[in-house]
Structure 1
């Protein structure tokens, strides 16, 4: 290899050896694979870290980790977990405590008296647990979903102050606001049969109410027919939800407001006032008729008593009745009847009867 230049910098000036060094005594030339000396002026080896001017190389990321973590050999000053008094590690103990807490939280279930729980095994229904303390397999093998099955739930339709118009049987519109009370009677059906049981209850209530309102008139919906409407809606809702196998029991329906539409409320008020006046007149007429009937019945009873006396003494009773009748009739006239003779017929007896005598003036001499 004499006369050729090594790519690693051997044979250049300042390397310490001439480029064309003679062969040794043994006749062997210097090998080309000899590493170049440090600090040479030739091309740098790309596989070696760059050398600094003072002979020290730059620190690498591996050097930093070794110095901070002890190099993996335990000789550094890095962070270490505390050890037990016997020299063992606390890691197994910590893992065991975490596992026990996880098992206790996912296997032991406390259910309140008004609640029940549905247990599922890998997503499929397993059984239902009642109130009290129950045990299941840990999560995620078994899961428990607890629901309140005793408390009454209330849904106001519509929510807020919205207007809900419905068509009555006599082709009128009425604005209805009502309340539905219900609870869970079968937790398994309630959980697995319907996708959204709460929304289903509201939609069934809406359909049942519209059907019931369409069978009555506006006056019934706004007046005395509310009780029958509420009973009809409750019965219809329960029948539909039982057909769906929803596991829901309807406790009651209450109509909170039944008013005419807002645009015609003034006209409805005028009509209601006129109807109220008409009912008042009818009630007054019925009262007068009852009083007149009672008076006639009293007179008939008195006549029956007089007739009983008449049968005992007809002549005396007849004369008494004649006198009483003439007294009653003549007491209301201005005529004066005299049966004695010698009385002037032109005497103003009626005028004298009606005109009171004049009182004497104060201080008049007699």
Structure 2
């Protein structure tokens, strides 16, 4: 070996020899090498001055016997010991040591499992039958998904938002129990306090989410403007009475037309007026007016019923006269006498005195007194006697 070293030294240049000896000197003074005079691996040489201590080797108990104070573990040993304790490793004295390679593998598998779960749960979606899913890609609209199992790119690349397109939603405008009154002007310059409900549903989720910044606020404003424009064509009597049904129909049509122009993606299902009262300051006066209007309507209905009754009676008399006329054309004399007898019977049926002008008959017959003297015969006895 010395021959090899000598040969190598001989072949080196003076500059190379200087670098070689500097490297040997550094190795001799390093904590992993021997002292100037050589020594064992723990850094204690055979000479008078011991070499530097190896930081990776625990001090030998022999140093205690030599009267030398033992040194504690190095900072690197303490760091490794704490790492082993944090990962379930043993402490000192023959325990298991911490393996950096196993920890790296553990973290790699954990991150991979978390990524797989994230992709699965953010990519597969179940859309119920009554809903539709609006899918956005990086915040922009991408497509609309129907009911069923749908697949998307994992979040945050694509997201899905479900919306119930079959639910009927209700929006109240003006409440009967609210302190603030919702005044609407009628055609005859009168004010009424209106409270109504708007029933609506989502027709197109894409337009509902992306066309308007505040869809529900827009629906409320459209409802108020449509109601005011419609009530302005009705007077007070119709607005608080029989004109409610027509007002509701016109407001629904107006709202649907305006929302279609706004491309709101909403369908108006109906309008229901819950309250149509005058202002509270004149409520008593309006109640009296309402009562008078109801009495007027009642009188008009009674007169119409009497009119209908008279007309029906006249029609019946006309039909009876036509029948009698047909009989009169066939037998005029007999029909004339029959009409005379029936008329006299109707006229004299409630008269107490009867005068008969005929030969051999007393001019005055007290027939009423005779009838009073005749005892009334029970119906059962009269029927038995007849048998």
TM-score (ref. length: structure 1): 0.67
Match of 1:139 in 2: 155
Question: How many residues matched?
Answer: 291
1:117-132 equivalence runs, <5 A: 117-132=133-148
Moved more, 255-264 or 190-199: 255-264
Match of 2:102 in 1: 88
Measure the CA separation in 2 of the matches of 1:174 and 1:336: 71
Match of 1:167 in 2: 185
Deviations 1:148-200 (Å, cap 9, x if unpaired)? 22222221213573232211222222222222122222222211111111111
Match of 2:60 in 1: none
Match of 1:236 in 2: 254
Measure the CA separation in 2 of the matches of 1:187 and 1:215: 35
Match of 2:120 in 1: 104
SS in 1 for 2:170: strand
C-alpha distance 352-182 of structure 1, shift in aligned 2 (>3 A): closer
C-alpha distance 319-101 of structure 1, shift in aligned 2 (>3 A): closer
Structure number with the bigger relative contact order (C-alpha 8 A, sep ≥ 6) is 1
Of 317, 321, 325, which aligns to 1:307?
325
Deviations 1:180-224 (Å, cap 9, x if unpaired)? 122222222211111111111111111111111111122322233
Structure number with the higher helix fraction is 2
Correspondence 1:270 to 2:288 = yes
Measure the CA separation in 1 of the matches of 2:164 and 2:356: 101
1:199-210 equivalence runs, <5 A: 199-210=217-228
CA displacement at 1:82 relative to structure 2 = 4.2
* Contact 1:155–1:180 (CA under 8 A) maintained in structure 2: yes
Match of 1:280 in 2: 298
Match of 1:291 in 2: 309
* Contact 2:133–2:161 (CA under 8 A) maintained in structure 1: yes
1:1-366 equivalence runs, <5 A: 71-72=78-79, 74-75=80-81, 79-82=85-88, 88-89=102-103, 90-158=106-174, 161-162=177-178, 163-333=181-351, 335-339=353-357, 353=369
C-alpha distance 76-356 of structure 1, shift in aligned 2 (>3 A): closer
Deviations 1:209-253 (Å, cap 9, x if unpaired)? 111111112232223322222221111111111111112222222
TM-score (ref. length: structure 2): 0.64
Measure the CA separation in 2 of the matches of 1:139 and 1:199: 30
Deviations 1:278-309 (Å, cap 9, x if unpaired)? 22222222222333333333333333333333
* Contact 1:174–1:259 (CA under 8 A) maintained in structure 2: yes
* Contact 1:155–1:179 (CA under 8 A) maintained in structure 2: yes
Structure 2 alignment gaps of length 5 or more:
1-71, 90-97, 376-387
SS in 1 for 2:189: coil
* Contact 1:114–1:131 (CA under 8 A) maintained in structure 2: yes
Moved more, 235-244 or 181-190: 181-190
C-alpha distance 283-160 of structure 1, shift in aligned 2 (>3 A): closer
Measure the CA separation in 1 of the matches of 2:371 and 2:149: 106
* Contact 2:176–2:275 (CA under 8 A) maintained in structure 1: no
